Structure 1
Amino acid sequence: MLEHYVVFRPRPGKERELAEALAALESGLAGGLAGLAELSWGENTNRSGLDRGFTHGCLARFTGPEAFGRYWDHPAHERFLGVLDGICEDRFALDWTSGATA
């Protein structure tokens, strides 16, 4: 599996917009994407991240790099990327391979 985890620090007062953008991403992928095993997101509850302003996280799990490429180019993901700079002060991603890749 290829794991793609992103944490977000929204601009002040933009937390709701970030949650709406994440929900729109999830909804836009609801029809299915070959190789997307899981997509989840939510509000951060960890004090360490919250103290740094990181209020939300998103985890996507893919069967391999090809599936991640389809996700990256998917219109729902492109729309999501298009709004993030206006919503977030900062964000970063961690990608890793867990277990055997398909």
Structure 2
Amino acid sequence: MKTSTLFTLLLASVLSLSFITTDMKKEEKKNVGTSIVKDSVLRHVVLFKFKEGTTPEKIKTVQDAFNALPSKIPEIISYEWGLNNSPEGLNKGFTHCYFLTFASEESRAIYLPHPDHKAFGATLSGILEDVLVVDYWTK
């Protein structure tokens, strides 16, 4: 009798632990979903279309100057860039994409008039045909 009671208690303990673990996993998934909203970030997307005939050296100067901004402006919390390689042909001449992340609108407000950002803008003089900028809060 004692053995079967002990076995029953042990089985009940294992089953209740299994339910607790399952509930904890459900709660972790809920928290992941809410942390995305809570930890939303501001994305700043910049697309460049260079004037026809712009030399590769001048474009490289722009790339190097933009790539240096994250080390000069601490409000940029994440940065990446790349060249268009879409096979769809819908880029309308925009070839360079820069993707910056800010923690807040205040951080972006510091970045926009920042002297290093303004100096970078000077590298575009005479070679930029068009620019497209889109900012959005991640969801």
The one-character-per-residue Cα deviations of 1:37-69 (angstroms, maximum 9, x if unpaired) are 11112211113344x211111110100111111
Tell me which of the two structures has the higher relative contact order, counting C-alpha pairs closer than 8 angstroms and 6 or more residues apart.
1
After TM superposition, the structure 1 = structure 2 runs for residues 60-75 of structure 1, keeping only pairs within 5 Å, are 60-75=100-115
After TM superposition, the structure 1 = structure 2 runs for residues 7-26 of structure 1, keeping only pairs within 5 Å, are 7-14=47-54, 16=56, 17-26=58-67
Q: Could you tell me which residue of structure 2 aligns to residue 88 of structure 1? A: 128
- Structure 1: gaps of 5 or more residues: none
**Is this contact kept in 1: 2:48–2:96, CA < 8 A?**
yes
Structure number having the greater strand percentage: 1
Q: Could you tell me which residue of structure 2 aligns to residue 39 of structure 1? A: 79
Q: Which amino acid aligns with 2:46?
A: V
Structure number having the greater helix percentage: 2
TM-score normalised by length of structure 2:
0.61
- How many residue pairs are counted as aligned between the two chains? 97
Give the SS at the match of 2:77.
Answer: strand
**Is this contact kept in 1: 2:80–2:99, CA < 8 A?**
yes
The percentage of counterpart residues that share the same residue type is: 27
TM-score normalised by length of structure 1:
0.79
**Is this contact kept in 2: 1:29–1:76, CA < 8 A?**
no
Q: CA RMSD in A?
A: 1.9
Query: Max radius of gyration: which structure?
Result: 2
